[in-house]
Amino acid sequence: MGTHDLIPSRFLSLHSVYSVHSVVRMFLNHGLHGMHGFWNVDTAFGLYPLQTDHLLPGYLFYFCRSFNFHSLDKSTTIPSLAKRDIESINFPLPPLAEQKRIVAKIEELFSELDAGEESLRRARRQLRVYRQSLLKQAFTGQLVPQNPTDEPASVLLERIWKERQAHVIRIVEEKNNP
């Protein structure tokens, strides 16, 4: 009888009699960052399931991703965790089939999230192109139908320029002749 048969769907302490500790091992300074399924808890140790017939590495990984390890930190200067803090974590250990379903659902939702993020990036790129196209049409007179009686832009700009010059001259004359 395996651990998951003895205690299905219960919260376990990582250091109890029928504990995940029997299927999880603390690694001390072994540099296992590249191992599949390894979750680095901090720079001193990590958790890795030794018997994957009771605990899926992906399930442990997602549990560690969701657990707030900062809540266990009792340090005052440099954040740190003690081995006893890790061993005191209540760890939910459902049957292996349920772990597989949980991991599969998480990965399915993450895939949907990734697809949504890509759609958002694509929409942002399309909006940039649309914005540029809209501005080009606006400044080339293609955005709205043109009124044939409107003066050309060059004549309008010349008139605005002359009005500004006259305004500046008026201000200078008022300052010089109070």
Percent share of the chain, pLDDT over 90:
29
Looking at the fold, whether 84 and 163 belong to one and the same domain comes out as: no
Cα(174)–Cα(178) distance, integer angstroms: 6
Neighbours of 15 (CB within 10 A): 16
Clarify whether residues 8 and 72 are in a common domain.
yes
144 — pLDDT class (breaks 50, 70, 90): confident
Q: Are residues 69 and 107 in the same domain?
A: no
DSSP state, residue 47: E
Report helix, strand or coil for 21.
helix
More confident residue, 103 or 152: 103
Domain that holds residue 100: 96-146
Indicate the Cα dihedral angle 104, 106, 112, 117, nearest 10°: -140
Asked whether the predicted pLDDT for residue 5 surpasses 60, the reply is no
Same domain, 7 and 90: yes
- Hey, what amino acid is at 21? H
Instruction: Note the pLDDT tens digit of each residue in 47-59.
Output: 666 666 788 888 8
Domain identity same for 116 and 165? no
- Of 24 and 130, the structure prediction assigns the larger pLDDT to 130
Number of domains in the chain: 3
**What does the pLDDT read at residue 49?**
64
- Do 86 and 102 fall within a single domain? no
Specify whether the backbone of 29 is left (phi greater than 0), alpha (psi in -120 to 50) or beta.
left
Q: Residue 31 — very low, low, confident or very high, per pLDDT cuts 50/70/90?
A: very low
pLDDT at residue 50, as a whole number: 62
